[in-house]
Chain A
Amino acid sequence: MSTFGWVTQLLYVAAAVCFVLGLRLMNSPATARRGNQVSTAGMALAIATTFALVVHAGTVTATGWIVMLAGALVGAGAGLYSARTVQMTAMPQLVSLFNAVGGGAAALVAINEYVKLAGATAGVPEATTITTILDVLIGAVTFSGSIIAAGKLQGLINAAPVTFPGSRAANITAAVVAVGGGIYMIATPSVPVMIIIILAALAFGVTMVMPIGGADMPVVISLLNAFTGTAVAMAGFVIGNWALIIAGALVGASGSILTKLMADAMNRSLRNIMIGGFGTGDSAPAVAGPGGDVRSVAADDAAIQLAYAQKIIIVPGYGLAAAQAQHQVAELAALLEERGAEVSYAIHPVAGRMPGHMNVLLAEANVPYPQLKEMEEINPEFPRTDVALVIGANDVTNPAARRPGTAISGMPILDVDQAKSIIVIKRSMGHGYAGIDNELYVNPKTSMLFADAKSALTELIASVKTLVG
């Protein structure tokens, strides 16, 4: 290997070290920003190294330079603009979009390499064919699947599970064609077959994500994130670049971990989520729980209860974010803290539309991160809590999950019912995603404040100030 080759390879290793250190620093909110900077520096190094490689090759035509730089500029501009302007509630869409373009770019890298090799006299080595097929398959599925996921999250496509007669059959056909084409290609290198594989994989991505409902999005995004990482690693195999292999593997690991965490938090298997939402299987009507009356409460009374509480846990759900009420909840919490109460937030892993989404929304509303507690950390604290204030969360607080025989049995929940008293802000007695009654609402300790999250919180803030000033 030439000296130049050695140097570039070592620089790629240095970049990979930066990526790992950057992820390592993300193990605490205090160091996470530095982590992102270290990772950015690694990326800058990797790109600069690649630029040197491209220049060193000396074969790039004038047109080649123009298209490459123009493409990079257009992409960088679009990325910068969307990153600067995106609302925090829209973060899942943006992440999905970045998954799509990352997966798409990875597939294009392999397509280019394959077309080039297929045209050469030496032909395509078998190993390259296999990694190309994997890259193209995973990359194309990620591309179309992520675009559909982003469309659903943005509300451009019906967020509910969308199925049409024969959609399962279409999905299976696409999978069979893609895999069959892949096997054919290993035996007989062929560019047209690769195009068929690409189209089938794109169709598979669409038919895979369309039937998945909005509440399952945290799992889908995580899974597509893992796919993108794997596609990038495969692109690294195809063009023989270690930086791509390492970076892709890191992302693949991250996506897989998050996928598993999300699926566990909903107590559902990946297969179950991919095949269909709640209500399609054995979710028989809930076993009749301890019946009882629902106690409704006025904002003034709820405010007094909160104002005299020593320890308060706020349980935010996606409904809070949907109502854009995170700033009001932060204001109420600040007010109660000024009065000497201890306030913390109980965050269920699937509160939001992507892993950790609720934490970002609350951080944006100026909630200090030490108050954001994970489920395992906060659950032992509920029995010592004077008031648990549930806003926009439903299924994740339902004690029915502890009993067998309900649609959510076994799902890890927040032990809200163990608090000394509970206030639930909710618009109506409507069901959550699982479509079953929430036994928390008929608990004698629970008072229901029927209102929209934003107006209820605004009223609470005003009442606390007026009544107990």
Chain B
Amino acid sequence: MSTELLTDITIFVLALLVGFEVISKVPATLHTPLMSAANSIHGIVLAGAMLIAVTADNALGYILAFVAAAFAAMNVVGGYVVTGRMLKMFRRSRAPVAAAQAPASLNGRGSGGQA
């Protein structure tokens, strides 16, 4: 077993501990965006997919490079965009949209009141 493997294992274990520490503080309200954010982080596999191309020189290598790059790029781009989209919806107070909806439903009240 090499020193490199030992270094890799050390990094892995420490990162795991950091992950446990940081993520256990995320409130349940944000668990879906958290999982989605974690999802985008594992999109880092795109780096690995790109490195396939460095040595690819036959059909198998090219196919693997293409599929891996496509999978990983979908993962990373989709992950970040959808996480951002979700987080944008979390507001401290009701957004003006609600006020805009209210008058529309008030009409129902007027006619109902007469009946």
Residues on A lying within 8 angstroms of B by beta carbon are 15-16, 19-20, 22-24, 26-30, 32-33, 35-37, 39-40, 43, 46-47, 49-51, 53-54, 57, 59-61, 63-65, 67-76, 78-80, 82-84, 86, 88, 91, 94-95, 98-99, 101-102, 104-106, 108-109, 111-112, 115-116, 125-127, 221-222, 225, 228-229, 232-233, 235-237, 239-258, 261, 330-331, 334, 347, 349, 352, 354-357, 359-360, 363-364, 366, 368-370, 372, 374-375, 461-462, 465-466, 469
- Whether the pair A71, B28 counts as a contact (CB closer than 8 A) is no
Distance from B95 Cβ to chain A, minimum over Cβ atoms (Å): 6
- Whether the pair A370, B19 counts as a contact (CB closer than 8 A) is no
Inter-chain contacts of B82 with A (CB < 8 A): 82-83, 86, 91, 94
In the bound complex, how far is the Cα of B28 from the Cα of A99, in angstroms?
Answer: 21
Inter-chain contacts of B38 with A (CB < 8 A): 23, 225, 229, 250-251, 254-255
- Whether the pair A354, B32 counts as a contact (CB closer than 8 A) is yes
Inter-chain contacts of B57 with A (CB < 8 A): 61, 64
Q: A79-B75, A247-B41, A334-B102 are in contact. Are A67 and B32 (CB under 8 A)?
A: no
Chain A residue at minimal CB-CB distance from B102: A334
- Whether the pair A36, B48 counts as a contact (CB closer than 8 A) is no
Distance from B32 Cβ to chain A, minimum over Cβ atoms (Å): 4
Distance from B11 Cβ to chain A, minimum over Cβ atoms (Å): 5
In the bound complex, how far is the Cα of B109 from the Cα of A133, in angstroms?
Answer: 66
21 contacting pairs across A/B (C-beta < 8 A): A16-B15, A29-B87, A35-B37, A61-B56, A75-B71, A76-B73, A79-B75, A86-B82, A91-B82, A104-B67, A108-B52, A116-B55, A243-B47, A248-B44, A249-B13, A250-B23, A250-B41, A251-B41, A253-B20, A254-B19, A465-B108
Inter-chain contacts of B97 with A (CB < 8 A): 366
- Whether the pair B71, A22 counts as a contact (CB closer than 8 A) is no
Inter-chain contacts of B103 with A (CB < 8 A): none
In the bound complex, how far is the Cα of B37 from the Cα of A51, in angstroms?
Answer: 23
- Whether the pair B113, A105 counts as a contact (CB closer than 8 A) is no
- Whether the pair A253, B23 counts as a contact (CB closer than 8 A) is yes
Choose among A47, A98, A101, A252 the residue that contacts B16 (Cβ–Cβ < 8 A). Answer: A252
In the bound complex, how far is the Cα of B111 from the Cα of A469, in angstroms?
Answer: 12
In the bound complex, how far is the Cα of B46 from the Cα of A73, in angstroms?
Answer: 12
- Whether the pair A359, B28 counts as a contact (CB closer than 8 A) is yes
Chain B residue at minimal CB-CB distance from A65: B53
Choose among A94, A127, A372, A461 the residue that contacts B78 (Cβ–Cβ < 8 A). Answer: A94
- Whether the pair B66, A70 counts as a contact (CB closer than 8 A) is yes
> CB within 8 Å of A: which of B82-115?
82-95, 97-98, 101-102, 105-106, 108-109, 112-113, 115
Distance from A452 Cβ to chain B, minimum over Cβ atoms (Å): 19
Chain B residue at minimal CB-CB distance from A257: B23
Choose among B48, B53, B93 the residue that contacts A67 (Cβ–Cβ < 8 A). Answer: B53
Distance from B8 Cβ to chain A, minimum over Cβ atoms (Å): 5
Of A24, A242, A250, the most chain B CB neighbours within 10 A belong to A250
- Mark each residue of chain B from 50 to 66: 1 if its CB lies under 8 Å from any CB of chain A, else 0: 11111111001111111
Choose among B23, B56, B62, B101 the residue that contacts A254 (Cβ–Cβ < 8 A). Answer: B23
Inter-chain contacts of B106 with A (CB < 8 A): 465
Choose among B63, B77, B95 the residue that contacts A83 (Cβ–Cβ < 8 A). Answer: B77
In the bound complex, how far is the Cα of B70 from the Cα of A12, in angstroms?
Answer: 22
Distance from B87 Cβ to chain A, minimum over Cβ atoms (Å): 5
- Whether the pair B44, A374 counts as a contact (CB closer than 8 A) is no
Chain B residue at minimal CB-CB distance from A113: B52
- Whether the pair A112, B64 counts as a contact (CB closer than 8 A) is yes
Distance from B76 Cβ to chain A, minimum over Cβ atoms (Å): 6
- Whether the pair A347, B29 counts as a contact (CB closer than 8 A) is yes
Of A54, A63, A83, A126, the most chain B CB neighbours within 10 A belong to A83
In the bound complex, how far is the Cα of B85 from the Cα of A86, in angstroms?
Answer: 10
In the bound complex, how far is the Cα of B70 from the Cα of A80, in angstroms?
Answer: 12
